[in-house]
Structures are given as structure tokens and as C-alpha cells.
A = this chain, B = another copy of it.
Amino acid sequence: MALRSFYALVVGAGPGRAAAIRFSKAYPVVLIARRAESYEDTVAEIRQGGGQAIGIAADVTDAASLQSTFDTIAKELPDSKLAAAIYNVNGGFLIKPFLDLKQEEFQTAYFGTAGAFFSFAQKTLPLLLESVPDSPHPPSLIVTGATASIKASAKFASFAAGKFALRALSQSLAREFGPQGVHIAHAIIDGLIDTPATKGMNNNVKDGKIKPEAIAESYWHLHSQPRSCFTQELDLRPYSESF
């Protein structure tokens, strides 16, 4: 497999599929998901469209699985450098009265979002730093947040704790690695995403769910910003969403 010199990495579902397709217009793309079924179609679609893509089944919340993922990437794309990493993992979404939450659920939500991102960022930041001198756009780490990243509603304790922590990480990393040329951005997705999983929800409002392709386009815009003009945080919300 002879890939070009920079690649993009997309972890997780939701807007992940569309982000992979969008970034494949510029880079070979590595898709990571727990199960191969989650990325196979996307990989095929990218290849049919003339792009390059590989998929790796991995659990990024598991250190060993994460390590093996990066070993695989190094083998598959030996001469490629990381241009953009998109972290799009919603670990432990759960709406539940606080006193009914199990400690495991809380920990799963935390480690499935902030904890896994910690490991993911430790793996990707050194790669992104290496790309600073010659990547076509400032190397980027883009993180998908949610309404719960800035507002902790009743019964969202575990999910919001993870998402607040994830936002803290993205903010701290932006302050540490921004001056080194790496662009770290956090997107607050405030609304349902229009995926098969939300079919039938909110279905009376036209365009009332966020198109994944539109998120992907905004992520690409973030990636394409020159270093004189980085966005650290933006919200993405359907016109019809009350906020």
C-alpha cells in the first residue's frame, strides 16, 4: 500500500464516518472503531471514490489495544506522518438518577471519554509535533464535545463529568501545544446528529438534526485554519435547537 505522506486518523462513530470521508479528499484516512462493521462501509466508499483508507478494530479505552493500533499504523503507513486526529468517542452516555448510578458506570463514562482521550492524546501529540514543520495545514487534534461539556443537567452526572474533563484536557492541551504549532480544537455538538441511531427522534423538524457532513465540513475548516488564526472552541447546533 503506497500512501501519500500525511494521513488523518478518525476515531469513533457519530460524525466519524462523515469526517473520514471529508478528510479523505486530502489525506489517506485511518478509521478506528471497536468493531470492523463500524468502518467497513466507509472504507469501501472512500476507496470507491478514489481515496485511500484503512480500518483498524480497536478499543481506544484500552492501553494495549491502543498501542497495537499505533503499531499497525506505523507498519501500514511507514512513510506517512499524522496531519489530523479526530477524537469522537462518547463513552458512557447515560441518563439516570444519581443515586441509581453504579460506580462502574461513572468510571466507564469517565474513562470512556476523558481517560481514553488522555491515552489517545499521549500517543498522537508526539506524532502531530513531528508534522509541524512540513504538514500542509497545522497538525490538528479535534475533539467532539457535547452540550454536557458545558452544562451538567440533572441525571447527566456521569456523562457530564466525563465531558467536562474532556473539555479541560482539550483546553489545557491547546494552551500547551498551540504555541508549538499544533491546533487543538473542541467542538460542542449541541443537538442530535442525523445518523441511523437517531432515526425517528425529533422527526418533525426539517433539518432539526445535525448533518454529519456539516460537522465534517466544520472539522475540515478547523484543520485548514493557519496558525495565525486558530479556533479553540465552537458550537454546532441546528437552527431549530433551543439553547
Interface residues of A (CB under 8 A from B): 63, 97-99, 101, 103, 106-107, 110, 114-115, 118-119, 121-122, 125-126, 138, 148, 151-158, 160-169, 171-173, 175-179, 181, 183, 194, 207-211, 214-215, 217-218, 221, 224-240, 242-243
Contact = CB atoms under 8 A, between A and B. Distances in A.
Contacts of A126: 99
Contact of A153 (B165, B166, B172): B172
B172 A155 contact: yes
A176 to B, nearest CB: 4
Contact of A169 (B157, B181, B225, B242): B157
Given A125-B99, A172-B155, A215 B234 contact: no
A160 B183 contact: no
B238 A227 contact: yes
A172 B217 CA distance: 26
A175 B243 contact: yes
Contacts of A224: 217
Contacts of A99: 122, 125-126
A239 B243 contact: no
B115 A110 contact: yes
A207 B237 CA distance: 31
A86 to B, nearest CB: 16
A115 B157 CA distance: 11
9 contacts: A97-B176, A98-B176, A152-B167, A163-B168, A179-B239, A179-B240, A209-B228, A214-B228, A229-B238
Given A160-B172, A165-B164, A229 B236 contact: yes
